[in-house]
């Protein structure tokens, strides 16, 4: 059994997550992958920073910009897909109905951790996509 402390990697304090979201990287096979933390009314959410239309970061064209001006949605700057921050569902744009890939985060003691043991296998998304 893995030591719980060893499998949790600190990402940030909840209080340090900006209103517009916080980018971070995590190990994903041989390459790092990008994630986003967002605070929502339902709690902190962790999403992979990758659009469901094309496999590009949401902030590909404007690094660090993840939300609309009113902060109601996460936005992909490439073609404008809008995602609900709480459940990651795309509500407008070319991938409407698709969902951002969630990351296994744990919120404890005012901090957000990534559960390294619960990360999806890096190539699983390619095998499960239609």
Interface with ligand FES (CB under 6 A), residue from 78, 100, 105, 113:
78
Interface with ligand FES (CB under 6 A), residue from 13, 54, 92, 124:
54
User: In the complex, what is the shortest distance from the CB of residue 126 to ligand FES, in angstroms, rounded to a whole number?
Assistant: 17
User: In the complex, what is the shortest distance from the CB of residue 113 to ligand FES, in angstroms, rounded to a whole number?
Assistant: 28
User: In the complex, what is the shortest distance from the CB of residue 31 to ligand FES, in angstroms, rounded to a whole number?
Assistant: 19
3 state SS of 54: coil
- What residue ranges in the chain does DSSP mark as E strands? 8-13, 22-28, 31-40, 43-48, 74-75, 82-83, 90-92, 105-108, 111-115
Judged by CB under 6 A, does residue 75 bind ligand FES? no
Judged by CB under 6 A, does residue 56 bind ligand FES? yes
In the block, residue with structure tokens 């990287």: 25
Judged by CB under 6 A, does residue 20 bind ligand FES? no
3 state SS of 82: strand
Judged by CB under 6 A, does residue 81 bind ligand FES? yes
Alpha-carbon distance of 67 to 77, in angstroms, equals: 9
Q: Which stretch binds ligand FES (CB under 6 A): 3-11, 41-49, 78-86, 111-119?
A: 78-86
Q: What is the CA radius of gyration of the chain?
A: 14
């Amino acid at each position: 059994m893995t030591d719980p402390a060893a499998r949790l990697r600190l990402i940030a304090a909840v209080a340090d997550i900006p209103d517009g979201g916080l980018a971070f990287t995590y190990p994903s096979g041989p390459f790092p992958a990008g994630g986003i933390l967002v605070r929502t009314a339902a709690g902190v959410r962790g999403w992979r920073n990758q659009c469901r239309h094309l496999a590009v970061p949401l902030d590909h064209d404007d690094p660090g910009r993840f939300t609309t001006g009113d902060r109601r949605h996460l936005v992909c700057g490439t073609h404008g897909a809008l995602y609900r921050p709480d459940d990651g569902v795309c509500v407008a744009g070319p991938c409407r109905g698709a969902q951002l890939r969630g990351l296994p985060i744990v919120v404890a003691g005012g901090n957000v951790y990534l559960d390294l043991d619960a990360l999806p296998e890096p190539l699983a998304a390619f095998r499960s996509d239609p």
